[in-house]
């Protein structure tokens, strides 16, 4: 599958000492790349949504952990281990809902101790170098696997489409939210390359406007027919018969098939059910959390009030001091979902509990 973009949203420098991200808070007006060299910069970039999207967050965290180990100057394996765990636990709390973050960091920890165990008789200088190389390789493998997963997910999603079909999106689950291609937008890119000429209706996605700023930006740049709509226009589009599918990404899938995704997804799913429009959730298996029995067990991040009242406005759009409720995600019940598209196929929500995950 060909990418429409000459860059990835998250990169690790050749020497492993910098994490390079496209600052998504500057889009769509400016493509600005940030070179991050500390755990604090990684943490800030994740919490302030400079890098966002569940897979991209996981990749950024893995790269950040490898980068911090590579930059930490020590001759003591014990000191390196202490620093590794400090950074890992610090990044672990940067965002609570997207499970890819924890999945990637836990995988890096398993790599650390598996490598260390095989170096019990080595001198410390050699052991430190081997561990650094191993962690860098593991972080790069996480990204490489994500690219392959997105390609396979795109193929499964593409199999649902017909030429000229209308697709409604919510939030951003494209090139910017992963390492390459996208999850929910991947099939749309594939359809465009195959001459299907898909028509996309892009929810603006209040309050952070990921649809308006990011999805519309991506699709326009790729030459895809995209129409930006306000979130409250989705029902009208469906009533007019303009929407054949709803494609959304996901930040966590529970064992019963409930999903956490950007706030507003549940509302779109309710509308889609009423108008008999199938809604598909796109998620790599790294987003599936079988330890969560249902959506009730998923921690929903609440974000600052200014994102609703002030952000992206030239002046405040609400009375000063008004109370604001700003959950970043909502839970879409499994009963509203036609299928969950993973790299292992299109799975009925009720069957997600049987999914066997990789490492």
- Structure tokens, 142: 């996480």
Is the pLDDT confidence value at 121 over 90? no
pLDDT at 359: 44
> Of all residues in the chain, what percent carry a pLDDT higher than 70?
98
State pLDDT tens for residues 302-351. 999 999 999 988 899 999 999 999 999 999 999 999 999 999 999 999 99
If one counts every other C-beta atom within 10 angstroms of the C-beta of residue 88, the result is 20
Distances (CA, A) of 343 to 39, 189, 285: 31, 17, 7
pLDDT at 356: 65
Task: Give this prediction's pTM.
Answer: 0.93
The 3-class secondary structure across the chain, one letter per residue, is CCCCCCCCCEEECCCCCCEEEECHHHCCCCCCEEEECCHHHHHHHHHCCCCCCHHHHHHHHHHHHHHHHHHCCCCCHHHHHHHHHHHHHHHHCCCCCCHHHHHHHHHHHHHHHHHHHCCCCCCHHHHHHHHHHHHHHHHHHHHHHHHHHHHHHHHHHHCCCCCCCEEEEECCCEHHHCCCCECCCHHHHHHHHCCCCCEEEEECCCCCCHHHHHHHHHHHHCCCEEEEECHHHHHHHHHCCCCCEEEECCCEECCCCCEEEECCHHHHHHHHHHCCCCEEEECCHHHECCCCCCHHHCCCCECCCHHHHCCCCCCCCCCCCCCCCCECEEEECHHHCCEEEECCEEECHHHHHHCCCCC
Average pLDDT over residues 43-54: 95
Is the pLDDT confidence value at 42 over 90? yes
Which of 287, 10, 345 lies closest to 144, judged by CA?
Answer: 10
Give Cβ neighbours of residue 307 (< 8 Å, ≥ 6 apart). 207, 208, 326
Is the pLDDT confidence value at 126 over 80? yes
State pLDDT tens for residues 88-107. 999 999 998 888 999 999 99
What is the set of active-site residues?
251
- Structure tokens, 47: 């919490």
pLDDT at 235: 98
Q: Which pLDDT band holds residue 358 (cuts at 50, 70, 90)? A: very low
Is the pLDDT confidence value at 5 over 90? no
Averaged pLDDT of the chain: 95
CB 179 within 8 A of CB 211: no
CA geometry: angle 263, 265, 270, nearest 5 deg: 130
CA distance 268 to 279: 9
pLDDT at 274: 98
Q: Which pLDDT band holds residue 295 (cuts at 50, 70, 90)? A: very high
Q: Which domains can be identified in the chain, with CATH numbers?
A: 10-152 (1.20.120.420), 157-354 (3.40.50.10470)
């Amino acid at each position: 599958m060909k990418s429409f973009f000459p860059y990835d949203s998250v990169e690790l420098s050749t020497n492993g000492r910098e994490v390079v991200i496209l600052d998504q808070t500057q889009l769509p007006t400016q493509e600005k790349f940030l070179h991050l060299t500390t755990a604090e910069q990684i943490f800030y970039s994740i919490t302030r949504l400079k890098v966002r999207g569940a897979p991209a967050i996981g990749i950024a965290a893995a790269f950040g952990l490898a980068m911090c180990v590579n930059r930490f100057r020590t001759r003591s394996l014990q000191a390196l281990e202490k620093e590794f765990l400090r950074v890992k636990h610090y990044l672990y709390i940067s965002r609570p809902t997207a499970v890819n973050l924890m999945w990637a960091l836990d995988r890096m920890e398993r790599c650390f101790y598996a490598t260390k165990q095989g170096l019990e008789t080595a001198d410390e200088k050699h052991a430190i170098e081997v561990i650094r190389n191993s962690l860098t390789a593991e972080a790069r493998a996480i990204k490489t696997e994500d690219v392959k997963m997105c390609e396979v997910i795109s193929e499964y999603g593409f199999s649902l489409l017909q030429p000229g079909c209308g697709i409604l999106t919510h939030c951003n689950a494209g090139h910017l939210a992963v390492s390459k291609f996208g999850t929910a937008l991947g099939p749309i890119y594939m359809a465009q390359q195959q001459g299907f000429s898909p028509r996309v209706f892009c929810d603006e996605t209040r309050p952070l406007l990921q649809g308006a700023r990011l999805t519309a930006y991506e699709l326009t740049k790729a030459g895809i027919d995209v129409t930006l709509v306000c979130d409250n226009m989705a029902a009208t589009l469906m009533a007019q018969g303009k929407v054949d599918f709803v494609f959304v990404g996901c930040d966590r899938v529970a064992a019963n098939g409930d999903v956490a995704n950007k706030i507003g997804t549940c509302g779109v799913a309710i509308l889609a059910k009423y108008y008999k429009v199938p809604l598909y959730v796109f998620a790599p298996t790294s987003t599936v959390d079988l330890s969560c029995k249902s959506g009730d067990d998923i921690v929903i991040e609440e974000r600052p009030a200014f994102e609703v009242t002030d952000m992206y406005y030239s002046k405040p759009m609400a009375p000063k001091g008004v109370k604001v409720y700003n959950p970043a995600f909502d839970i879409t019940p499994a009963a509203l979902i036609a299928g969950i598209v993973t790299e292992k196929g299109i799975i009925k929500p009720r069957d997600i509990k049987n999914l066997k995950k990789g490492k």
